[in-house]
Structure 1
Amino acid sequence: MSKPTRWVTDTKPGHSQWYIDRFRRLAAEGADLAGEARLLDAMVPPGSRILDAGSGTGRVGAALAVRGHSVVGVDADPALVEAARADHPGPRWLVGDLAELDLAAQGEAEPFDAAVIAGNVLAFVAPGTEPAVLTRVAAHVRPDGIVVVGFGTDRGYPLTDFDADAVAAGLRLEHRFATWDLRPWREDADFAVTVLRRPPA
């Protein structure tokens, strides 16, 4: 990896295990952890090939796999990837830096119908790599495929910068919502869910 991510530099020791334990506990308590997956599932054909970029412990990708999609998840944190492999067999979980994403080199050359970047991933990538992350993720999506991104608007990555970076990555903004359950976008919203499309060839 070219730069350490904010997940490494801006969190305390033991944060990854805390995060793993947190989502295992929430799952055991029956919490709804599939909101992002429901939205993606509604936007793509059955049996789609989906990239879970910044997959963490695998909750989004696993829920998409349960719905019949073929999922590849990628995360920079080996501990989170190991937890995903242990808790959610089925999808392929890989360790990788999204800013340098090259899945063909890991045997995943087929383009994806969609990609999802959930869980504030863009707030935790290495500073200054957000444009590269969007470019590399977009490069793995087929023409006319979608990239759906959600992150807090107070996380240090202004939406104006994100929108400019998305355009530079070859993506076109189609929709924006304030939540994963499609509440209308407002300028004062503290979260943004953005649907981007790679234009048809």
Structure 2
Amino acid sequence: MSGRTPSRWEELTAADPAHSTWYVERFRALAAEGTDIVGEARLVDAMLDRGSRVLDAGCGPGRVGGYLHRAGHVVVGVDVDPVLIAAAEQDYPGPTWIVGDLAELDLPGRGIAADFDVIVCAGNVMTFLAPSTRETVLAGFARNLAPAGRVVVGFGADRGYEFSQFLTDAENAGLTVDLRLSTWDLRPFTDESDFLVAVLSRAV
């Protein structure tokens, strides 16, 4: 970890090495029970033409990116946790799964074009980042978008990242908020909402 700030997720897994495996098995069990675990991916799919390029930022064990790959999109998934990436490779073959830090995102350096039609950041990923890296991560999203691309971010309240601060950070990172929702199934955002789904584009 020297030379970089560990994310809150890394701190969590360092304190409890079994946490990542528990997380993987939790979603495998939900899927086996027939629980809908791809609502975020369906929203993203509705925004895209077939064969679009998608970055699943903080992809975890691959549920969102895996669905979008099966729907016909070209998917790259990045997560800092190698246990989660290994599960994504096993459960959802097809996308390009990468172990990487979103705060140090250099996809062109890995031979991957920075021209994504959508960057999706679901699963409260923004709240697991080190606070000092949040704006850097958002700027990386802006940098890796296609000219007309969009970023879709979702996370809950009371997780240490105020919605108002996120919106300020996004603006400072070169992103414009196009739409705010309170759920992944398109319910409108209000002052009482305890969840935010933000659709953003690169500021002109």
CA offsets 1:43-84 (integer angstroms, 9 cap, x no match):
122211000000000000001111111000000001000100
Q: Secondary structure at the match of 1:129?
A: helix
Q: 1:79, 1:127 → 2: CA distance?
A: 23
Distance 1:62 1:15 in 2: 22
**What is the number of residues matched between the two proteins?**
200
Cα distance in 2 for residues equivalent to 1:80 and 1:160: 30
Tell me the TM-score normalized by structure 1.
0.96
Report what 1:173 is aligned to: 177
Partner SS for 1:128: helix
Where 1:181 maps in the other structure, the secondary structure is coil
Runs of 4+ residues deviating >2 angstroms: 10-13
Structure 1: tracts of 5 or more residues without a match: none
Question: Displacement, 1:91?
Answer: 0.4
Q: 1:78-93 to 2 correspondence within 5 Å?
A: 78-93=82-97
Q: Which amino acid aligns with 1:6?
A: R
- What letter matches 2:12 in structure 1? D
Is 1:136 matched up with 2:140? Answer: yes
Tell me how far 1:161 sits from its aligned partner.
1.1
Fraction of identical pairs, as percent: 56
Quote the offset at 1:153 in angstroms.
Answer: 1.7
Q: Aligned partner of 1:108: which letter? A: I
Does structure 1 conserve the Cα–Cα contact (< 8 Å) formed by 2:115 and 2:147?
A: no
Aligned to 1:5: 7
Q: What does residue range 101-180 of structure 1 map to in structure 2 within 5 Å?
A: 101-180=105-184
Equivalent pair of 1:114/1:145 in contact (CA under 8 Å): yes
What is the one-letter code of the residue matched to 1:16?
S
Task: Measure how far apart 1:157 and its partner are.
Answer: 0.7
Contact kept? 1:144, 1:199, Cα under 8 Å: no
Contact 1:143/1:199 (<8 A) preserved: no
Select 2:72's aligned residue among 68, 71, 79: 68
Give the structure-2-normalised TM-score. Answer: 0.94
Q: 1:128 & 1:159 partners in 2: Cα distance?
A: 16
Alignment pair present for 1:182 and 2:186: yes
Residue 15 of structure 1 corresponds to which residue in structure 2? 19
Counterpart position of 1:192: 196
